[in-house]
Structure 1
Amino acid sequence: MGKMSRLGNQLYNGRRSIDFVGRRWLWYAITGAVVALAASAIVVKGLNFGIEFTGGTEFRVPISAPSQDDADRLRESVAGTDIAAADAPIVTTAGDAVLIQVEEMTVGETDTVSQALSEASGVAPDDITTSEIGASWGEEVAQRALLGVAVFLVLVLIFIALYFREWKMSVAAFVALAHDVTITIGIYALSGFQVTPSAVTGLLAILAFSLYDTVVVFDKVKENTHEMPKTRLSYADAANLAVNQTLVRSINTGIVALIPIGAILYVSAVQLGASSLQDLALSQFVGMAVGVYSSVILAPRVLVHLKSTETEVVLAAKRAKARERAKADRYASVPTFREDMPIAAAPPGLDAEMEQGEDGAGVPVATVPQKPFQAPPRLDKEPSGPGRGRTVPEARGPVERSGSAGRVQPSRKARSKRGKK
């Protein structure tokens, strides 16, 4: 068994434990600081919305089997026009053409960009298609995305409340989801990545991933806290045990999901420069990473906090503390000797004697009266025959010697002869 396997086994069995639930203010402080930083980035720096949301101009350059070199060359030619609206073009390949998206431009600026694209690609200016993208389509996408998120959250929270029969688990799961979404959007604001419909799609995907991990942890919490008096654990200890039992699974699932998404993010951002891929990969990469944190640390901690005032939970916590105190010092209830302790009278049947102390004072010492030693009877001097080695009970009726049994035993008479001599 490997080292990680042994660690997972020890965490599952409770022989080793990481205190995720007990350090309430530490995790709250870390989470609050990160969320506050993300919210500040959103408010101060703002989001860089793509042309699907703000509107812009799209150029289509027909090139047979376009390569990444063609896309890079066209991007450099557009950025070299020194037009403010075209300083960060989005270039993607689509079949037998290359698409270049920029912000809204005037007619003169559009002609300048078309001429630059023609010179860089060798395509005639008349073959380059120009189209305007309105912001109304992006607004409709944003509205439908928000509506989808709202419906998703409502249905999921209702499902969690019905499945676990605990509305507080729904609240804890909602807090974890809000945490994941806020941090993911804050990363977009800090990095300057454009918010496109692909990013919105990735955001919806991370909600499902984070919620799935949270439900797995909550299911283990429910299993461990189903009968708290029998498990002899408080609710916080049982929830912390559940987190430790699912910790290895959560980490493994997160790593397996993050490796391919990280590869997509690297290839799209560094090598290909494909905006749709990098927007999708960034939202999923960040969301899944913070989703593991929220499902392991934040959601169980919020759940324990919400249930800390329930009567059964409070009683279980008191019983657990009492057991911990008794386990720490099993002789805590035994009184210790002090010089000023009163001298108790000797119990009945004990004789009190005086013992000379070091200071010459007499100290009463209780002694047990000794009885003379009496040796047990020897077996070879005991009478032989029936009843040897045991105490024969007294007969409740007449006894007489039985010829068939060969010993004295109670006799049974007919009812008509009982009481007659």
Structure 2
Amino acid sequence: MSKLGNLGARLHRGEVSYDFIGHRKLWYGISVLITITAIVGLAVRGLNMGIDFQGGAIFTTPKTSVSVSQAEEYANEASGHHAVVQKLGNGTMRIQIAGMDTQQSDRIKEELAKDFKVDSEKIAADLVGPSWGDQIANKAWQGLAVFMVLVVIYLAIAFEWRMAIAALVALIHDITITVGIYALVGFEVTPGTVIGLLTILGYSLYDTVVVFDSLKEQTKDITKQSRWTYSDIANRSINGTLVRSINTTVVALLPVAGLLFIGGGVLGAGTLNDISLSLFVGLAAGAYSSIFIATPLVADLKELEPQMKSLRKRVLAKRAQGGDQAEPSPAVTDEAYDEDAAPAVVGPRDQSAPRSRSGRGRPSGKRR
């Protein structure tokens, strides 16, 4: 951990750095490849919508010694559809079967009662209409749209419109990848999944705003100097906040990974999979997009400005003549931009020569 802390300090001071902006085409290519894979998976396999969105029946059995796998076999045979079975803490079972109406649910209830060897009256059956799921989906889309609009407005005011566009692209990138992973893995989409998707939007923006704030501070009066381009300083902003972004992401991913891999995988708590997968994939994608997508995209947009084009020409011309090629300091201030400023004088300007005890250095004259 001490080595990581030292690395973070060296990155912040500019002693070491990695050229993220210079390799931006590689990052763009990786993101495009992942996004296309997610879209293809979504188009081919589709989302495994839960009963809350499709409608269907939920059966709750009394306490039983039947295993979950055996209960799934009973429910699949009785309904002819894929059933989702969860064993509850009190020993009862919850069986979800999508696409059932009242007549079908009554018949399935009778067959389940025979398989479980219990009275049919002891099995509770609840019907869920698809209209409720439609309402949830519509509210989720509305919330997502409002969130996107507010984010763009806020970032455009607090920073600038180019950063707002870059953050919006990063958010769409994260959501697309997360939804595509759901389609490829086949996890059930529930209201918990919707909550997870809306939650990751804030996490995705967190690292992005941190880098943007550093970039905004370091690019004040950038056109008054001719040592560094906007991309140079953008790259330094990423390096300066890199370890911080990694630390916050890892800390956020650890409990989510516990829910997903231990809770859902080892302990078999399938109800945790819907929200934990969206959080895990979304957090990882958000950390990636803030470093490799959002900031490089801002640099590309800024470099299209006439002032930044002129600045780049001056910087490249100076470097071609063998000028200063040093990278930007962690905080580029007006003093750093003043290239003609005289170096500071350390210590007193005038010091008289010390006089020795032997009388050297005394004014000449006759000795008495």
Q: Deviations over 1:126-150 (max 9, x none)?
A: 1111121110000000000000000
CA contact (8 A) 1:184 1:287 kept: yes
Q: CA RMSD in A?
A: 2.5
The offset of 1:221, in angstroms, is: 0.8
The offset of 1:8, in angstroms, is: 1.3
Residue 195 of structure 1 pairs with residue 225 of structure 2: no
CA distance in 2, matches of 1:80, 1:123: 14
Residue 222 of structure 1 pairs with residue 216 of structure 2: yes
CA contact (8 A) 1:59 1:129 kept: yes
CA distance in 2, matches of 1:108, 1:15: 70
CA distance in 2, matches of 1:329, 1:243: 22
- Residues 30 and 240 (structure 1 numbering): CA distance in 2 closer, same or farther, change over 3 Å? same
Q: Deviations over 1:134-175 (max 9, x none)?
A: 1000000000000000011111111111111x1111100000
CA distance in 1, matches of 2:239, 2:301: 20
| Equivalent residue, structure 1, for 2:284 | 289
Residue 124 of structure 1, aligned match among 87, 101, 119? 119
Q: Which has the larger radius of gyration?
A: 1
CA distance in 1, matches of 2:239, 2:318: 22
| Equivalent residue, structure 2, for 1:30 | 30
Q: State the TM-score, normalizing by the size of structure 2.
A: 0.81
The offset of 1:34, in angstroms, is: 0.9
| Equivalent residue, structure 2, for 1:235 | 230
Q: Which is richer in strand?
A: 1
What amino acid is aligned across from residue 28 of structure 1 in structure 2? Y
Secondary structure of 1:43's counterpart equals: helix
CA distance in 1, matches of 2:231, 2:109: 64
| Equivalent residue, structure 1, for 2:342 | none
CA contact (8 A) 1:18 1:244 kept: yes
Bigger mean CA deviation after superposition, 27-36 or 170-179: 27-36
CA distance in 1, matches of 2:114, 2:220: 71
1:87-106 equivalences in 2 (<5 Å): 87-91=82-86, 93=88, 97-105=92-100
The offset of 1:80, in angstroms, is: 3.4
| Equivalent residue, structure 2, for 1:374 | none
Residue 174 of structure 1 pairs with residue 174 of structure 2: no
| Equivalent residue, structure 2, for 1:244 | 239
1:22-421 equivalences in 2 (<5 Å): 22-63=22-63, 73-81=67-75, 82-83=77-78, 85-91=80-86, 93=88, 97-105=92-100, 107=103, 110-116=106-112, 119-120=115-116, 123-164=118-159, 166-228=160-222, 229-230=224-225, 232-327=227-322
| Equivalent residue, structure 1, for 2:328 | none
The offset of 1:303, in angstroms, is: 0.7
Q: Deviations over 1:341-381 (max 9, x none)?
A: xxxxxxxxxxxxxxxxxxxxxxxxxxxxxxxxxxxxxxxxx
Secondary structure of 1:254's counterpart equals: helix
Q: Which is richer in helix?
A: 2
Length, aligned pairs only: 322
CA contact (8 A) 2:256 2:279 kept: yes
